[in-house]
Amino acid sequence: MQISNRKIYYEITGTGPAIVFFHGFGGNHVVWAGQVPYLVKHGYQTITFDLAGHGKSKGSAISNMVDLADEAAALIKNLDLKSIILIGHSMGAGLVWAILKYHPELNIVKVVTIDQTPKMLNDEEWHYGWAHDQIELTQDNFKDVLSYYDHIKETLNGIDDQVWSKLYPFKQKYPFEREKNMPLLFDHVQKDWRPTVYGIRIPALSISSTKSPYFKIGYVTEMQKHNKNIEINTVDDAGHDIMAEKPAEFNHLLGKFLGIE
């Protein structure tokens, strides 16, 4: 689909209520390979796509979350989707919150976010931001830290074999160009989505990991403390890519939230 000066690659599978997936920084649409068949089987339509600067999407990279949200909203509108469920992983969770903030005209009925704190930068009052190897991300160091830590192992025991069999060849064929997308990463980490998250008035689910390489588990309880519309679930023995590492367990939690199981 042509949106502005970019060609956005997307896939639609199944029929029924629409679920739109947002992958994270450096990811692509194939990372949801463990969820699409499960949801289609249970009567949902899935829309997966590659964000600008990622995967098979073509054109210039996007440098900020507002423009990313505008592009995702344009895709949703062009597909004429109604009563939409959004699922976002990592930066894709930030994109979910950006859609809620900047595009209230969309009929979003439920949201799911995966291993993402609403505020990435730590300060004197917030200690649930990005942290790795005893290094906490702050306003003063985030550019240096993120430029240095560019090969962090995101999984605990690797990606599920069936998902990896699809994801690996895609990543080899369409490698991610990290350098040209760094402005987007820098904008993402500077966002504070707490006002948006605390103001969500639709059913919301946050799925976190006890072994995330990036986030302390406490951010989910902070989210729920400020907003009782947010349900929280934690997966043990998984890293950052929960839905791709443990798809069966993730799908069970998602199914409970959607009323499937």
Token digits of residue 75 = 């895709």
Distances in whole angstroms, Cα of residue 113 to Cα of each of 86, 216, 227: 8, 15, 14
Q: What is the pTM of this model?
A: 0.96
- Mean of pLDDT values over 213-220: 90
Q: Which residue has the tokens 């240095």?
A: 148
Say if CB 86 and CB 22 are below 8 A apart: yes
Residue 133: pLDDT band (50, 70, 90) is confident
The pLDDT of residue 217: 83
**CB half-sphere exposure, 222, CA atoms < 13 A:** 18
Percent of the chain with pLDDT over 90: 88
User: What is the separation of C-alpha 177 from the centre of its chain, rounded to a whole number of angstroms?
Assistant: 19
Using the predicted structure, report yes or no on whether residue 1 has a pLDDT greater than 90.
no
The pLDDT of residue 234: 92
Lowest mean pLDDT among 24-33, 76-85, 142-151, 178-187: 142-151
- Mean of pLDDT values over 129-139: 91
The angle at the Cα of 138, spanning 240 to 87, to the nearest 5 degrees, equals 35
The pLDDT of residue 151: 76
The pLDDT of residue 48: 98
Residue 3: pLDDT band (50, 70, 90) is confident
Residue 235: pLDDT band (50, 70, 90) is very high
The angle at the Cα of 206, spanning 24 to 230, to the nearest 5 degrees, equals 140
Q: What is the pLDDT of the chain when averaged over all its residues? A: 95
- Judge residue 56's burial from the number of C-beta atoms within 10 Å of its C-beta, 0-12 exposed, 13-18 middle, 19 or more buried: middle
**H or E stretch covering 254:** helix 247-258
The pLDDT of residue 192: 98
CB atoms within 10 A of CB 1: 14
What total of structural domains would you count in the chain? 1
> pLDDT tens across 147-202, in order?
887 778 899 889 999 999 999 999 999 999 999 999 999 999 999 999 999 999 99
The angle at the Cα of 226, spanning 231 to 100, to the nearest 5 degrees, equals 70
d(CA 72, CA 74): 5
Token digits of residue 67 = 């423009």
Domain housing 209: 2-258
The pLDDT of residue 114: 98
d(CA 211, CA 251): 19
Burial annotation 174-198 (CB, 10 A radius, 16+ → b, else e): beeeeeebbebbebbbebebbebbe
Q: What's the CATH number where 130 sits?
A: 3.40.50.1820
Integer-rounded Cα radius of gyration of the chain: 17
The pLDDT of residue 6: 84
